[in-house]
Chains A and B, each alone.
Chain A
Amino acid sequence: MSKSLLQIKLYLGYIFFCSIGFASILDSAHLKLSQYNFFQKPMKKLIPTPGVVPFHLATPLFTDYAHKLRFIYLPEGEKITYIDGESFEFPLGTIFIKNFYYPADFRYPDKDWNIIETRLLHHTEEGWVGLPYIWNKEQTDATLEIAGGRQDISWINEAGKRETLNYHVPNFNDCKSCHVYDGVIQPIGPKPRLINCDYTYGSGSMNQLKKWMELDMVRNIPHPNQIPNTADWENSAESIDKRARAYLDVNCAHCHNPKGPANTSGLFLEYNQTDPRHIGIFKPPVAAGRGSGSHQFNIVPGNPDASIFMFRMESNDPGIMMPELGRKMVHQEGIELMREWITNLKKD
């Protein structure tokens, strides 16, 4: 590249950098969730309007036991392009809609929802933008709250015990802290390998990718048999290793990958990572501070109690816990899975 061309590129880059403001992003965002028309009335049932397609992920992110309902909206006539098992390319105007709610009693998950928030991830001309909407008490609508929010909530868990929580809705900047890959804001969950599983539609159960093909939403996509899939972390028919790696992939690897915000740590937890040191086995911490819990290594095979991994998963202290954001409770079931995985890891 000639020097002058390089200079022009740098200059354009600078203009682009300086023009990243919020005003233009706000212009394209509605103040009320109802204005997008994603849901039929009454909104609180979260029944999508035509063209808004529900989906779930083979293994989801843990968010303080919140239940989630995800949808994708594509602009009319636009299609997703399949790249490979790791990625889709979503057209401009795509909006992911993720609703966070707590049933009053988890033993009856379809009844008495308290919908807390709906996060939109909107593919705009300026890139992906994350927008948090907080639902009103009447559950009739949600309002854009760029500074996030808090709400005291409670529910009965599966064991019949009451849980309480000061729920934390992330702010506009928090969205970015997880969704940045290679310096650019990106969706995290909707990867082909995480979508490649069954979903119970109104018409019955079906592979989600097949459904998307049937709806003519995706171009260049091979048969789902030829697309890798990530394990369901709760599926006891899968191996512990696959379940644990799926859990790490979804809960950690959005930051802990070679191009993510935690790349300074050298701890990389993507599903396809094979280097034991990068996964954390006998890896000393780099700048963990008191997050090390006085342990020497991230993972000591066979010894979860000596592993920094468990120390940070089992903590609720914001200066220690991992993930840093998105939870205030410990994920008991996730911890049990990780303990079993580390206990069974071979030492060599």
Chain B
Amino acid sequence: MTLIHFLHAGFEKDFQTKLILAKEGDTLHIPSGKHSILSTLSLDRKANIVIRGSGMDRSILSFARQDAGAEGLKILNSKNITLENFTIEDSKGDALKVQETTGIRLRKVKAEWTRGPHPDNGAYGLYPVQCSKVFIDSCIAIGASDAGIYVGQSTDVVVKNSEATLNVAGIEIENSINAEVYKNHAHGNTGGILVFDLPDLILKKGENIRVYDNLVEENNLNNFAPPGNIVGTVPAGTGILVMATSKVEIYNNHIINNKTVGVGIVSYFLTGLSVTDSLYNPYTSSIYIHDNLFERQKQIPSLKHELGRLFFLKYGRDIPDIIYDGNPDPQYLTEDGTPQPGTEFCIKHNHNADFLNLEINLNFKHWYSPLFTSFSQDKSVFDCELLSFTVNKQFP
């Protein structure tokens, strides 16, 4: 990269004009070079537009000197938009935000904060929210102070072949329906892959999420999220974490050397935050974890987090791989206290996986006063199978 356009005004104005004037079917090119951009670039109410660079490391939109707008590139209220082969760098807020758009394809797009992890980096790298038909392929996200690849309140989502590193959360699927997350490489984040449902949002309940064939390794980065944010509650050393979501299948993943939690399945109560949203369901249900490979060197879990401290007190450096808070959704419990068929927590055929059931309801009067005596490591009661969930695969 030798060509740096310090005389940005020409490109920025020219490109923003093209974004405004684009007609259905147009392809807009981002030429090679590092283009310095001072304000948010935006595309609004357009259909069938392609924005294409000449390569992820060739066409770079640099927002290092940005002084206006809260995002790098913003796409709103659009339909069938394709972005490919370019990088968005050092934006002051989110790198790419796509809102209320049907059909968004990202291919070989990179979002990066070049100084590495820092609490002053923008929150999200690649951030589709309130969208449907989201397709993210072969993308990269580096350095986000919340989530690198973050799909929120969306329906019909694919995230594949992508890499997330040095973020607080690598890949996060939040309050979304029908999502497939596969063949990704999440490494060096605080948490590798998160599947969360949070309260107070418009799309209340996420479900039908499949996480498979991913390599999730060494996600041991100190949590650098600004305080006050939910992702700040994720312990360093988390591989895959499911919170308050239903119908999640996790299989064929390699989950390697995440020091605190390999795979965690927890209710929202573990955040210690109160819930005022009466339409929110804080529990997990229909969780199926199978055929994953776990490897973990003996190492100390994160002691900055009460879960990590608890594990260390109980297990030293050799802590279990799959952690369940043992808090099933009461609405699905039969009279004898077991979950109705199809709503269970099931683990099967995992390689090298030790299991821990926190049995939160028995063991914790309050989260901060654990009576760490009677955790169960018996996984036989959870040895069951769930049918694969039907995820809409029509979208490529």
Contact = CB atoms under 8 A, between A and B. Distances in A.
Contact of B229 (A166, A174, A292): A292
A319 B70 contact: yes
A324 B71 CA distance: 10
Contacts of B229: 285, 287-289, 292
Interface in B87-120: 91-93, 119-120
Contacts of A290: 119-120, 123, 145, 226
B92 A318 contact: yes
Given A18-B79, A174-B40, A293-B228, 17 more contacts: A18-B47, A21-B24, A147-B14, A148-B13, A150-B9, A168-B67, A171-B20, A171-B42, A173-B43, A174-B69, A176-B76, A263-B202, A264-B202, A286-B201, A289-B146, A296-B228, A318-B68
Interface string B225-244: 01111000000000000000
Interface in A112-132: none
A172 interface: yes
B92 A146 contact: no
A20 interface: yes
Interface in B9-34: 9, 13-14, 16-17, 19-24
B28 to A, nearest CB: 13
B20 A292 contact: no
Contacts of B14: 147
B188 interface: no
B228 A294 contact: yes
Interface string A238-253: 0000000000000000
Given A285-B228, A292-B227, A328 B20 contact: no
B45 interface: yes
Among A26, A173, A174: residue with most chain B CB under 10 A: A173
Contact of B66 (A22, A285, A318): A318
Contacts of B93: 289, 318-319
Among B44, B47, B79, B201: residue with most chain A CB under 10 A: B44
Interface of A: 17-18, 20-23, 26, 146-150, 166, 168, 171-174, 176-177, 183, 263-264, 266, 284-290, 292-296, 317-319, 324-325, 328
A280 to B, nearest CB: 14
B122 interface: yes
A23 B26 CA distance: 14
Contacts of A296: 228
Among B9, B39, B44, B228: residue with most chain A CB under 10 A: B228
A173 B20 CA distance: 7
A173 B226 contact: no
B67 A166 contact: yes
Given A21-B24, A147-B16, A294 B227 contact: yes
Contact of B24 (A18, A166, A183): A18
The 10 residue pairs across chains A and B that have the minimum distance between CB atoms: A289-B123, A292-B228, A319-B92, A319-B93, A173-B42, A290-B226, A294-B227, A147-B16, A147-B17, A318-B92
The B interface, classified by DSSP as helix, strand, loop or mixed, is: loop
Contacts of A148: 13, 16, 39
Contacts of A17: 45, 47, 79
A266 B124 CA distance: 20
Contacts of A289: 93, 122-124, 145-146, 226, 229
A168 B66 CA distance: 12
Contacts of A174: 40, 42, 69
B384 interface: no
A166 B93 CA distance: 20
B38 interface: yes
A28 B195 CA distance: 48
A204 B68 CA distance: 40
A317 B92 contact: yes
A294 B201 CA distance: 21
B200 interface: yes
Nearest to B198: A286
B67 A328 contact: yes
B223 to A, nearest CB: 14
A155 B17 CA distance: 30
Nearest to B119: A290
Contacts of B145: 289-290
30 contacts: A17-B45, A17-B47, A18-B47, A21-B23, A22-B20, A147-B13, A150-B9, A168-B39, A171-B42, A173-B19, A173-B42, A173-B43, A174-B42, A176-B44, A264-B202, A266-B200, A285-B229, A286-B200, A292-B226, A292-B228, A292-B229, A294-B226, A294-B227, A294-B228, A317-B92, A318-B66, A318-B70, A318-B93, A319-B92, A325-B70
A183 B355 CA distance: 49
A293 to B, nearest CB: 8
Contacts of B42: 171, 173-174, 177
Interface string B182-214: 000000000000000000111000000000000
B73 to A, nearest CB: 11
Contact of A264 (B146, B201, B226): B201
